[in-house]
Amino acid sequence: MSLRPHTSSDAYSFEIEDEQLIVRAFGRWDLHTVKEIDVALKADLEALGYGYADVDMAETGYIQIIFDFADLTRMDTAGAFILTRTIGCHDGFCRRWCVRNATDGQKGLVYAAAEAAEGMAPLKPRPWYSPLETLGKASVRALSETYDTIAFLGQFMMVMAKVILNPRRVRWKSVTSLIETVGLDAVPIVMTLSFFIGAVIAFMGSDLLQSFGAKIFMVDLVGIAVLREFAVLITAILLAGRSNSAFTAQIGSMKMRQEIDAMVVIGMSKEEVLVAPRAIACLVAMPILTFAAMIAGLGGGLLVAWSQDISPVLFLARLKEVVPLNHFWVGMIKAPVFALVIAVIGCRQGFAVGGSVESLGARTTTSVVQAIFTVIVLDAMFAMLFLRLGM
Amino acid sequence: MRVFEKLKLDWDVPIEVRGLRTQFGTNVIHENLDLRLNAGEILGVVGGSGSGKSVLLNTLLDLKKPDAGKILVFGRERSSLSVQDRRLIDNRTGVLFQGGALFSSLTVQENIMVPMRQHTDLPVALMRELADMKINMVGLPRHAATLSPSDLSGGMRKRAGLARALALDPQMLFLDEPTAGLDPIGANAFDELILQLRDALGLTVFMVTHDLDSLFAICDRVAVLVDKHIPIADTLDNVIKYDHPWVREYFGGPRSRAASLGKAI
């Protein structure tokens, strides 16, 4: 008895002969055709009462199924999988089936696919509380992140104390090369940026103050803003983007290649070898860069002032008169603090890199974000502190 | 398959290399290298460290351009094929790189789905099922599907890489030191697996290896890469008899004797 498939698929046909379901497969059963075959086959089997979804042995009984491959031109694992999983197996229950008119290769393929399909249990769906789980995990992660950073800070202090007490332990060679990359190489970009910031402040100031007829006060504005805040902040943010990310990436990739493990095994202290030189380099470079930024910022202001009919001589005289030196020191004193923030966060995130490339990227991002965040928060705290101190 | 008939592809010779020369700058790696791979066989390629085995593999995969000579893939030169035809051929080759080369941002299952997404329009649910089947086929546990590559051991990573190489049911499989870094039990199981897959799927396997056990256990033919070319590619018995100092040393050493003993038992 021949059964007509409901769908018009020409990839197979059904026939029932002596209580046996014969499935004839035609043409290509491979990755490029299984999409249509899968849909059609499921629908047809449902209609026949051999549903993929309701394999009930008691009801359908053990009807033998024969796969006939006489007219098959090509079959790959995908095709074999579709055939055996849809007709033969489901949820660990298997109907009895066999293959006829098949080449040895096809037989091997079908049995291999059936075997692989058999062990497959459906994945459990995500439980309803999985968003809560994500939230909880994120909170715990944030807490442990803070804890780890503080712990690292403590470790770092210890190492720095040791290094300061015994300066010969410092690797001066790497310190000098780091000062070059962290400090010297950053001078042009830091000065350029600071120059523009100074110029912009001067422009805004002169525009606003002119309406009060107090254009000369722009000198005070530029002087105080650049010396107190902008020079050091621009430098710190630039260093956070430039050097802090480099620290994380360097240490992180060393961690990924087990170089840090090798160091520990050899008996070197990873903090002493990797962290201390970076911290010292930052401590040296940051004040110098800040100073350069101050000069460039004032230069930008001076140039704009000149274009507004305030001569450089007048600008400098006024600057000396109205901007006391303590503004300069307020700016400079923040530089080493920011330098340490950048070095510590960069190194700590580098050590936290795991085994995957993805975690390297994630840690580098975290490192820059944390460093800039901390720098700005600390700057605000400094502002309040100096206000109270009356500086 | 009509498309393939139209391309006049020669199914019996998946790879044929004629007079290949590759070089980096003035450093010649291969000179006048000939090699022929027959359909359905497992060919092992041996050679000393730095003899250019991996370069040969990369050249066959078109990752490095040959400086002279011809590489015929299924009887056609790659450069003579259109982009689409070349893709048809690329679909027929799977590669297992030395470290697995799994995409670290994706889970194992997603890794296996990458070639399917690229070259087929299957629904995602079906791709998942097929990926899970491949995972099962290469002998990884079910839960490995959701793990990311960094959570896997070296052996599991190789199996996952193999599953990805098999994602599109290739005819040709390139393996770069598949058993390096595996323990003997894992290496044996891997050899077994490759043999099994070859028999079930009719694969042709090109295997760069240092593992003498693999050579004795599963390779139909062995090609020796020495002095910048392949002087002999034959059954292992014939290769061992070949008169060349490097070959004698390679197969005459204590490790080789132990491996051949293992085979005899």
- Long-range pairs for B231-236: beta carbons < 8 A, 24 or more residues apart: B233/B35, B233/B36, B233/B43
Q: What percent of chain A has pLDDT over 70?
A: 90
Q: Is the pLDDT of residue B54 over 90?
A: no
Q: Is residue A23 in a domain?
A: yes
Q: How far is A8 from chain B (nearest CA, A)?
A: 20
For residue B70, the surrounding DSSP H or E stretch is strand B68-73
Residues A96 and A141 in one domain: no
Res A181: pLDDT: 92
Q: Is the pLDDT of residue A59 over 50?
A: no
Q: Is the pLDDT of residue B207 over 60?
A: yes
Res A275: pLDDT: 92
Residues A356 and A248 in one domain: yes
Q: Is residue A128 in a domain?
A: no
Q: How far is B233 from chain A (nearest CA, A)?
A: 26
B84 token code pair: 């689409």
User: What residues have CB less than 8 Å from A300, skipping those under 6 apart?
Assistant: A194, A195, A196, A197, A198, A199, A200, A202
The Cα–Cα gap between A81 and A88 comes to 10
Cβ neighbours of A35 in B, within 8 Å = 120-123, 126
Residues A365 and A249 in one domain: yes
Q: Is residue B231 within 8 Å of B242, Cβ to Cβ? A: yes
| Structural domain containing residue A152 | 135-389
pLDDT, tens digit, for every residue of B94-140?
889 888 888 877 889 999 998 888 888 888 888 888 898 888 888 88
Residue A178 or A38, more confident: A178
Residues A188 and A106 in one domain: no
Domain with residue A30: its CATH number is 3.30.750.24
DSSP assignment, residue A50? -
**Chosen domain end from A90, A118, A146:** A118
Res B1: pLDDT: 46
- Smallest CA–CA distance from B115 into chain A, residue: A31
Q: What percent of chain A has pLDDT over 90?
A: 43
What radius of gyration, in Å, describes the C-alpha atoms of chain B?
19
Q: Is residue A354 in a domain?
A: yes
A102 CA to centre of own chain: 51
Residue B16 or A196, more confident: A196
The Cα–Cα gap between B244 and B53 comes to 18
The Cα–Cα gap between A330 and A334 comes to 7
Residues A84 and A229 in one domain: no
pLDDT, tens digit, for every residue of A218-264?
999 999 999 999 999 999 999 999 999 999 999 999 988 888 888 88
Q: What is the mean pLDDT of residues B195-213?
A: 84
Residues A58 and A140 in one domain: no
Mutation pick from B152, B169, B203 vs chain A, by most beta carbons of A within 10 Å, is B169
Instruction: State whether A32 and B1 contact (CB < 8 Å).
Output: no
B172-176 and B93-96 beta bridge pairing:
parallel
Res A118: pLDDT: 67
Could you tell me the pLDDT band of residue A54, with boundaries at 50, 70 and 90?
Answer: very low
Residues A141 and A96 in one domain: no
Could you tell me the pLDDT band of residue A287, with boundaries at 50, 70 and 90?
Answer: very high
A330 token code pair: 């307020």
Residues A72 and A213 in one domain: no
Instruction: State whether A356 and B137 contact (CB < 8 Å).
Output: no
Record the pTM. Answer: 0.68
pLDDT, tens digit, for every residue of A377-389?
999 999 999 989 8
Tell me if chain A has a CB within 8 Å of the CB of B134. Answer: yes
Q: Is the pLDDT of residue A154 over 70?
A: yes
Residues A211 and A289 in one domain: yes
Q: Is residue A108 in a domain?
A: yes
**Residue B249: Cβ within 10 Å count:** 11
Predicted complex ipTM exceeds 0.90: no
A369 token code pair: 């974000």
Residues A175 and A321 in one domain: yes
Q: Is residue A130 in a domain?
A: no
Residues A185 and A152 in one domain: yes
Residues in chain A: 391
Residues A204 and A276 in one domain: yes
Measured over the CA atoms of residue B33, residue B34, residue B38 and residue B42, the dihedral's sign is negative
- Which of A32, A108, A356 is closest, CB to CB, to B199? A108
Q: Is residue A123 in a domain?
A: no
B134 token code pair: 């491949």
Cβ neighbours of B137 in A, within 8 Å = 77, 112-113, 116
